[in-house]
Structure 1
């Protein structure tokens, strides 16, 4: 298949629409469904991310994409009981591939609602069972077990989008695109962020443990496929906050930090013990939990909880939240371009940042390094900008 006709482009009024190749077949098969324009943009960007994570870090990888940026990305590391409960995967015999997707989706479940999933490895039954219970638009992977494929084909009334990508496919070196009828061309972004990009430590503290090195590489690769500007927080082999598509660097840092805080607050015992009324759906639970941990919940929002609880739960005080957040430590943070001011460091530290990687090159690099030294944290200059548009 060299051409695939789409229902429409970004919006229903944008017809006709298609994807195509001139010289050879498209490098994927549609095993089920009828993916759209944005679906396929998410599919091909997310596949590149998980393929690169697996190739660089040697572990199964997963991503949860929405609107051409990852809401989450993760490696297939085991989950403790707290995360299993927070991610709604209790009672499932988790494989490494399933753990990777549970972590990727668990990073920001609000943003992952209706996501596009990507897996670096064969999708197995455990992963399919997780996806079966989630609101998701589609999935891309190099292969599926027969049982997993049958489970996924039952989603969305049999219309769930399932793509099988050729893992050997490589794009041409030159990438063309058109904007306003004008053709742009650039070399495919073939730089591979890795451990060698962590060698230039510019702070007084040089202590960079292996787990932090892994997490910084995960942050860099995630940033490579995130709409710029972007800042990414990572802990224990998974993204916990991704600040995508902001015009201001500090807004990226704040957004990602706020998401990381919410991720950690969702593991608070008061959250895990919320006694939802039987029959409450996962999307409703996720919405209420998000409101529960925020500081700006309205009286109207809280009043709507009555239909989901027999006894209304007590809200955490700001002091209780801060005390809990003080336990968030050892976070790795990456930025797709340099930090222009120390305020980014000050904000990142509030969400447990201990290890940072960024290109460097700001006229205020000395101020930023000084801020890191004041906090006793580690920062690497990788010398590579990772803008993605």
Structure 2
């Protein structure tokens, strides 16, 4: 046997997720490996007819305190941590009757899942594992002698080595140790983040602003995730990339099932997330809605009487940019919408669900990806946005402000009509998801011009109007749909020039946060043109 291969005589198994457990244990037992287990894991193995030693037989103590204390004992941790080639360690083991444990198989109490299902505080606390992380970390530290498994996906790797080589290699044990520490780090990070959120909610409920600010920025923060997929490359082919799933269980790309199509790229995932978050702003109980995204910016958004009508309206905003885009829907994809979407090259379709007929229509395009998420994310929901900087991270709460909750203030002589007001709310839902500086023209609950990501707000207004003229020419219209439209700005107009550009494009009403030292100049320009303007008091920068 090679020097780096460690035979396995005894394995300790204690798992919450019992996927593949019995078959794994049966193959271990077939190699003559003694099985030691706890609680529900031991029961599952015993019911399968396997001979299993109870941890209590090792420790001399029964499980106690509702299972909180069972493996925290020298008979367990000594067996895991003992360095096999150290004479003093071997002497201690012999003196105290400790037998070595060569394989530790532990996955943890389902804390993240417990939080995700909205369980109460006490239930969440009870699902914080203590003994599990201790055993995992002990085995990972002593990986020179001990193998540790934290996920059933590693079962076959370990079994194959045992059956081929008579034990595990050092290379495999190192890899398993890395996975183990990544899992405990992610687990502890989820617990720390949950405590921070609990404290923040309590502080907000007490209207203790100072305390809320303190809790929102804990002294240290951990972010982690489980590898969902290794990607071919990142934004560019020379960049490495991978997709990790972690954090709050929010419906979207992390929870989606891919029904068909080739593998998603880094850019596909990023753009699909942007599209689905944007379409979630539109309540499916109100109307079907469609968002088309290109390079993380909406290039067409609309509500309609049906999904296919909404798609046609969204596509008309910028059919050139929509080519090769991402299409997100707020309702189940139906056959009519599917037929319309596949008329042009589309990278991804994402929706809460899809009918069998729609899936079959999309399936005729073998490279087109179809994702179903099961639900829409709550646009008002909590969560964190994280951005890496050189040597650190920027962390903020999600922008979960929703225009429907805002108290709109009419600041011009003319108030918007009911139709204008509906379009203004629609436009402000969209502008929240457009990169700053952002300008969105909308008419009849559809975008008709979008200007994104410019250093000057007036340039965004001009670009949006220019795109509207191009779209009108493509559609054979006599004039762009910005005539008689409304306009939304993600932040205040610092000067009246951006507003004047929108007025020249044909806008009759404006929605913006307000708050500029030149608000009076901007309001005066609106009054002079006879248009309506409302302030939201809420800014939607998106860098």
TM-score range, shorter chain: 0.7 to 0.9
Structure 2 counterpart of 1:113, from 316, 323, 327: 323
Q: How far has the Cα of 1:115 moved from its partner?
A: 0.5
Aligned match of 2:271: 42
After superposition, the Cα gap between the structure-2 partners of 1:254 and 1:328, relative to the gap in structure 1 and judged at 3 Å, is: closer
Pick the structure with greater CA Rg. 2
- SS of the counterpart of 1:110? helix
Aligned match of 2:100: none
Q: After superposing the two structures, state which structure 1 stretch, 179-188 or 365-374, moved more.
A: 179-188
After superposition, the Cα gap between the structure-2 partners of 1:327 and 1:110, relative to the gap in structure 1 and judged at 3 Å, is: closer
- SS of the counterpart of 1:380? strand
Aligned match of 1:229: 437
Question: Are the aligned partners of 1:3 and 1:21 in contact in 2 as well (CA < 8 Å)?
Answer: no
Q: Answer yes or no: is 1:204 the counterpart of 2:358.
A: no
- The within-5 A match list for 1:296-307 is none
Aligned match of 1:59: 287
- Give, in whole Å, the separation in 2 of the partners of 1:23 and 1:368: 41
Question: Are the aligned partners of 1:176 and 1:186 in contact in 2 as well (CA < 8 Å)?
Answer: yes
- Give, in whole Å, the separation in 1 of the partners of 2:231 and 2:341: 25
Aligned match of 1:341: 495
- Give, in whole Å, the separation in 2 of the partners of 1:24 and 1:255: 37
Aligned match of 1:371: 525
Q: Deviations over 1:100-140 (max 9, x none)?
A: 11111221011111000000001111111112211111111
Aligned match of 1:19: 244
- SS of the counterpart of 1:217? helix
Aligned match of 2:297: 69
Structure 2 counterpart of 1:124, from 328, 334, 340: 334
Alignment size in residue pairs: 312
Q: Deviations over 1:224-268 (max 9, x none)?
A: 111111000001110011000001010011111112233334444
Q: How far has the Cα of 1:176 moved from its partner?
A: 2.4
- Give, in whole Å, the separation in 1 of the partners of 2:389 and 2:517: 33
Report the RMSD for the aligned CA atoms in angstroms.
2.2
- SS of the counterpart of 2:331? coil
Q: After superposing the two structures, state which structure 1 stretch, 344-353 or 243-252, moved more.
A: 344-353
Structure 1 unpaired stretches of 5+ = 78-95, 270-323
Using structure 1 for the length normalisation, give the TM-score: 0.75
Aligned match of 1:352: 506
Aligned match of 1:144: 354
Higher-RCO chain (CA-CA 8 Å, sequence separation at least 6): 1
Q: How far has the Cα of 1:169 moved from its partner?
A: 4.9
Aligned match of 1:97: 307
- Give, in whole Å, the separation in 1 of the partners of 2:511 and 2:249: 39
